[in-house]
A and B are shown apart, each in its own frame.
Chain A
């Protein structure tokens, strides 16, 4: 690709080639892994080695939100948004110690499978399916939104077509081979996305004199930032522009009412959400043993960590590119006309993602006169820093990989829950294998199409929708899953109460805050999971204690779950 740029091939062509080429590879892998076996379709035959499962989980995990929106959130939201970073890594400690090894021992295909068998009864299973579908669906629309944004920019097609184009790529990967195909495409997608994320940061760091591994040396940049912020002043704009932000939040420390509390509650929602999101948990059903399930959690976190500990570096260095008067790329404090004539400013402004306005009329671009959509920070960074266009193509391909891989996992989680738990376990337990797998695929396409339709309406931003998905998941599922293993006394009535009350309370609180209610103690719409989880825990414990303990057989089952060796609780062909 770099050679093509030397040869004078147009920038747009390079972008298109990059995105198209990587999608073709994923589709090829998907085609090669096609399967008609239940075990291979749902859990990849339980043969995925820990390291590869770790990579696949990392790709599954790092969504369009992590890749495209997170560094932008940190860029504009400053310190407060770093709660996402802490939350999305710390959650794996909970996955590893509370959930993954035990669910693997259980031998289930889906998360509701565990709830349905541990607590018994279709009502519990149904509650779990509902929570799962709502959480995952919220999440998947954000991902399809991200693929649409990137496809629109790289391929120069309208956003509403870009969404459908993205969906096509996603379905190619997952439809034929189910979990097995998704696993191997996700391994490829991880490699693409991590390279695409690291290259621009390393390049910028070199140019700014922080060496090739910026992570340990950009400390000075973080300190300089505080001085630059003081120098330019963090003021709201004279006149706001809808959908775009100016920089008003300091980079390194908490500010405002409840700042620390807000940070902790957001991080906590993200962590418990991590431990209850089904597309992540079901990845650990694919390993051969309990020990390798644990090992693959450790690998997952290591691979995920590589991106998250780069994100604040990217946000800091990009901000410095724009602010530091010693760098040639700085625009703040420069004459307005000069900035307005820059190519990257014009490119992004023409699609409405960026704006500059000389609102105080002094002919100089002030910090509060530079408007930008937070979601584009990562995508625009190569251009801001003056890197060759081939890097922009790489970043677009990486963002595409991140969004597609997560959407794959989520669509599969939804379709599997509906086909296995709702259709096979509740509606038609006699359905044979071929029909079950056909139902699963039809659902996959149907849900994907619905997701694309909703994404094309652009109801919310990417990061906001993702935070909601985590809050839905932890409101409904965290305690029923964790206590299912860790509290033998937990029974069916308690679990149903925990799921129903937690999920309902969380949703109502979201509705209350979102429609203009005053948040309690700063718990706004991004962190409504705190309310949901509290209600879920209390109602689950109270109802459990008011009703009889589960029978001998269930208690025996819980004990079996806690021991790594021996046969799985559910047989292989359940």
Chain B
């Protein structure tokens, strides 16, 4: 494999990794920044007996963060493997 080819693989790998990261950060911003900004509106609804805005801050966003990280790692592992950068555990 020529040096150019290796560079090309790396560029495409990095482009995909970067796009995944941007999606993750957008989701993060929604749960960490947008939800707290509209909590009063959300509090008018009820969810499991909670005021909904309060629920999102106390639990909903937290659950979202956990899910975001696990899904991100699953996708990132797939990208690593696709370009042959996957590691043996």
Contacts and interface: CB of A to CB of B under 8 A. Distances in A.
A82 to B, nearest CB: 5
B72 A222 contact: no
B32 A267 contact: yes
Given A96-B72, A216-B48, A86 B10 contact: no
Interface in B16-61: 17, 21, 24-25, 28, 31-33, 36-37, 39-40, 43, 46-51, 53-55, 57-59, 61
A532 interface: no
Nearest to B35: A86
Contacts of B49: 217, 219-220, 222-223
Contacts of B66: 89, 298, 301-302, 305
A490 to B, nearest CB: 16
A303 B37 CA distance: 27
Nearest to A74: B58
A308 B66 CA distance: 12
Contacts, number: 143
Contact of B62 (A85, A219, A253, A563): A85
B28 A309 contact: no
Interface stretch (A28-36, A285-293, A322-330): A285-293
Contacts of B13: 563
Q: How large is the interface on B (under 10, 10 to 19, 20 to 34, 35 or more residues)?
A: 35 or more
Given A90-B32, A97-B21, A308-B62, A565 B51 contact: no
A289 B87 contact: yes
B5 interface: no
B54 A222 contact: yes
B65 A295 contact: no
A116 B43 CA distance: 48
A295 B39 contact: no
A295 B73 contact: yes
Contacts of B77: 291
Interface residues of A, number: 53
B36 A291 contact: no
A92 B70 contact: no
A85 B56 CA distance: 11
A219 B54 CA distance: 9
Interface string A251-274: 111100000100110011001000
B3 to A, nearest CB: 12
B69 A562 contact: no
Interface of A: 79, 82-83, 85-87, 89-90, 92-94, 96-98, 215-217, 219-220, 222-223, 226, 251-254, 260, 263-264, 267-268, 271, 288-292, 294-295, 297-298, 301-302, 305, 308-309, 312-313, 559, 562-565
23 contacts: A85-B62, A86-B32, A86-B57, A86-B62, A90-B28, A93-B28, A97-B21, A217-B49, A220-B49, A222-B49, A222-B51, A223-B50, A252-B43, A252-B53, A253-B43, A254-B40, A264-B36, A294-B73, A294-B76, A559-B10, A562-B10, A565-B84, A565-B87
